[in-house]
């Protein structure tokens, strides 16, 4: 069975690459993937799979015509908060696959927010016509329940992703703390300045080596480059393309301060203490579910010392998720594989 895998792949986003790697890891042996990618050569070289250019309608149509299955491969594909056009691309391909008679799966989706009425109506139609649907959060589950669409609810599949050690990480000074920040309207210059001053105070108090970890170079790298020269102690910027290696970073640190959802997930999955900075309900929901310490960016304290003290408390006295908690999340996230098996 040939399956077209559709997501935000090959676009330089570590979280979406981690979702692709997780999907390929969980894909049953009887399914041969064809990945729609923004960088097909890079995706082909990294994962050793057949790829085609996601922007070439001719190539995508040819892939659909020669396939049996179409999979939306995880993440916040169907939302119009960042772009009105983005969900139309994904819903258009799903509708085309359904018109061409392919079995269709919406896999590990984080749905919403969907603010435009036409997008909500379109999403409802394509989800209703899917052969199977799984979601990764309760907000998405509530929306599908409202639409009377059957679904499977399980944690984000990146919990299952196998990590790979980072070459040279253990040669860096210990202890180490990983930090991930991304550009966002809520991360104003004023808030970034406060966080930077808090990080300076935190490093002075702990003497940690700070690892600045961009997940998407276009949104995260400039922030890391702005922070690093101001740090008084040891620091590195780790720009990693392989999602398994990216997850491996968190195996070698004492603590993570993370803004991106998959930064929080990877840190918690690898057993390090974690402090979350939420810019989005999906991060807030994860914080609540796992009882993780953190701040809503919109409510970030104005005093840098208040933030650094909160980080010091987690660093000195915080607890990582227990091995049993992590295994439970891995086991439950593996449930996303079931709808792939049933369909196959």
Q: Dump pLDDT digits (tens) for 110-164.
A: 998 898 899 999 999 999 999 999 999 999 999 999 999 999 999 999 999 999 9
Task: Please answer whether residues 310 and 292 qualify as being in contact, where contact means their C-beta atoms are separated by less than 8 angstroms.
Answer: no
Tell whether 68 and 189 lie within a shared domain: no
For 212-235, b where at least 16 C-beta lie within 10 A, e where not — what string? bbbbbeebbbebbeebeeebeeeb
DSSP string, 89-114: HHHHHHHHHHHTT-EEEEEEE-----
Separation between Cα atoms, residue 335 and residue 332, nearest integer Å: 5
Containing structural domain, residue 65? 2-153
Residue 159 lies in a domain: no
pLDDT at 64 > cutoff 60: yes
Q: Is there a single domain that holds both residue 83 and residue 214?
A: no
148/184 same-domain check: no
DSSP string, 267-288: HHHTT-EEEEEESSHHHHHHHH
d(CA 338, CA 28): 9
Pair (23, 146) in one structural domain: yes
């990480």: which residue's tokens?
169
Same domain, 311 and 179: yes
Give residue 112's pLDDT.
87
Task: Report the predicted TM-score, pTM, of the whole model to 2 decimal places.
Answer: 0.95
Q: Are 87 and 76 in contact (CB under 8 A)?
A: no
Same domain, 308 and 219: yes
Establish whether the linkage from the previous residue to 146 is cis, with ω within 30° of 0. Answer: no
Tokens of 186: 């809520």
Q: How would you list the strands of the sheet with 103-109, edge to edge?
A: 50-53, 32-37, 2-6, 69-75, 103-109, 132-135, 152-153
Residue 344, pLDDT > 60, answer no
pLDDT level of residue 323 (50, 70, 90 thresholds): very high
- In a domain, residue 240? The reply is yes
Share above pLDDT 70 across residues of the chain, in percent, rounded to a whole number: 99
Residues 208 and 90 in one domain: no
Total domains present in the chain: 2
pLDDT at res. 82: 77
What is the domain-level CATH number for residue 60?
3.40.50.11930
36 in the same domain as 117 = yes
Residue 121 lies in a domain: yes
| Residue entry with tokens 């970073």 | 249
Q: Per-residue pLDDT tens for 174-207?
A: 999 999 999 999 999 999 999 999 999 999 999 9
44 belongs to a structural domain: yes
Task: Give the pLDDT confidence of 71-84 residue by residue, as tens digits.
Answer: 999 888 998 887 87
Residue in 273, 295, 274 with CA at minimum distance from that of residue 284:
295
Same domain, 186 and 317: yes
pLDDT more than 90, % of the chain: 92
The model's confidence at residue 341, banded by pLDDT at 50, 70 and 90, is: confident
343, part of any domain: no
CATH number at residue 304: 3.40.50.2000
Residue 164 in any domain: the answer is no
Q: Are residues 130 and 46 in the same domain?
A: yes
Q: What is the pLDDT at residue 219? A: 94
CA distance 135 to 335: 11
Whether residues 107 and 44 share a domain: the answer is yes
C-alpha 23/C-alpha 12 separation (Å) is: 17
Phi, psi of 119 (to 5 degrees): -65, -40
- Once rounded to an integer, what is the mean pLDDT over residues 36-51? 97
Answer yes or no: do 66 and 11 share one domain.
yes
pLDDT at 62: 97
Residue 305 inside a domain? The answer is yes
Would residue 33 count as lying in a domain? yes
Q: Where do runs of H (alpha helix) occur along the chain?
A: 14-26, 40-47, 57-65, 86-99, 117-128, 138-146, 189-206, 222-227, 243-249, 261-269, 281-290, 304-317, 323-333, 336-343
């Amino acid at each position: 069975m040939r399956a077209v895998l559709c997501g935000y792949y090959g676009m330089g986003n570590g979280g979406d690459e981690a979702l692709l790697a997780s999907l390929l890891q969980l894909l049953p042996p009887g399914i041969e993937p064809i990945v729609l990618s923004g960088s097909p050569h890079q995706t082909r070289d990294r994962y050793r799979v057949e790829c085609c250019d996601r922007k070439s309608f001719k190539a995508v149509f040819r892939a659909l015509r020669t396939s049996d299955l179409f999979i939306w491969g995880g993440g916040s594909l169907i939302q119009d908060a960042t772009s009105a056009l983005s969900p139309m691309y994904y819903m258009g391909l799903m509708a085309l696959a359904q018109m061409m008679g392919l079995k269709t799966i919406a896999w590990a989706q984080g749905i919403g927010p969907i603010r435009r009425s036409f997008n909500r109506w379109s999403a409802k139609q394509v989800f209703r016509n899917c052969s199977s649907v799984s979601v990764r959060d309760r907000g998405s589950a509530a929306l599908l329940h409202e639409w009377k669409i059957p679904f499977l609810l399980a944690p984000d599949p990146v919990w299952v992703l196998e990590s790979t050690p980072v070459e040279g990480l253990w040669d860096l000074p210990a202890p180490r703390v990983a930090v991930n920040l991304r550009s966002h309207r809520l991360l104003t210059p004023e808030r970034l300045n406060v966080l930077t001053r808090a990080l300076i105070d935190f490093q002075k108090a702990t003497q940690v080596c700070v690892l600045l970890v961009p997940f998407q170079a276009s949104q995260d790298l400039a922030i890391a480059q702005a922070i690093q020269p101001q740090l008084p102690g040891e620091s590195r910027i780790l720009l990693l393309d392989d999602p398994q290696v990216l997850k491996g970073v968190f195996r070698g640190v004492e603590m993570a301060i993370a803004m991106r959802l998959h930064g929080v997930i990877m840190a918690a999955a690898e057993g390090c203490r974690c402090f979350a900075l939420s810019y989005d309900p999906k991060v807030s929901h994860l914080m609540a579910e796992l009882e993780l310490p953190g701040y809503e960016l919109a409510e970030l304290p104005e005093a840098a010392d208040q933030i650094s003290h909160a980080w010091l408390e987690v660093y000195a006295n915080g607890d990582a998720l227990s091995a049993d908690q992590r295994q439970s999340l891995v086991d439950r996230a593996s449930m996303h594989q079931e709808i792939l098996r049933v369909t196959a």
